Structure 1
């Protein structure tokens, strides 16, 4: 686990609690943010163990903000970090937080793990994620726990919300305008990645719709005609018995 393996062997009395496999996800998703100062936000302080971890992980000069609902967490801040107290489901608090500390390259939601709170935080903070930034929600297994507002296939769970983000990301290609209209968030999402208990949404602001590319004899052409077509059918329809 590189940095994380070394850090874990040098922790102090501030408790850090993470699922073991999360560290591999951090390496995959966050390594590219280490070569320059970034703006980082983590929701959920608890005993403060992640504060020195992230301070050591990101480049010197990074703006590191941490949020918790417990006022006693303010004493866990250290030089180069800020701890703000507020409710992650409160839109007014999120707006104030973003105005004061955003926009953000990286947001990690390790807060209450309550599904409506996760949705509220995403909707409140996503507009304040920078281009090519990531929004990470941890402990999404609570989406399968009714006591956290989830439950298997419960439409109110964050996992089901994230599945709908996948649909919305693909709404450029709709062939059913009334049932599945274009969603403007498609202009902002590069990808939605699902890991065990973690959802990562990466932002990429797109000035233009997707284009198909053709290349022949060294000539490269782009076209968006396919986005305008309706009633599409596969060129292979009927050839395989379908």
Structure 2
């Protein structure tokens, strides 16, 4: 039986260790002035900052003001209760990934990528797929044993499903940057439902974007969620791990 993680209580650090000082920013729909600053302080106090001070205020046009406030909070953080998704697979080199695909699949691994719905922001999907890559790593187009089909932006879900079937995709990668009114969540659920309906055994479904919660993969109906800062090698290593399982662990041993 595994032991419960030991509690570790921490407080925010501002000027000295454990002083509880935090800084936050927000905008109020009020013209810049003393009344607006008073409203900002009232909000900060209601959020638990005590004492609170306005350290920066700037007019954003005639009717809005941007604030930065600084103050102390009494809240504590129990690190043992923090839930995150740890990487359970090894990071492999492009050479190891290509070799695994050759040995285990006997053909090129097919990856279809897109931004779905009305999302026109292709920076994320291009960083993972395009050969130029991201953070000093080449994108999946660089991998000799992968065939990458990048559909670009604003791809309707039915079109993505049809193209994945046409290309016989092993994995589908979707980027979602537009998040107003939880559009990224609605689009992901719609996509997952469409693939379940269209496939007896669907391809891997991987989504990514800065506002996703990595712990929601099961709830959204996908296999994996990646958030900001993810590199192409992380995605490539995950794909071979998800497809070939223990073979990747043996290769990294």
TM-score (norm 2): 0.34
Larger relative contact order, structure 1 or 2 (CA cutoff 8 Å, min sep 6):
2
Q: Which has the larger radius of gyration?
A: 2
TM-score (norm 1): 0.35
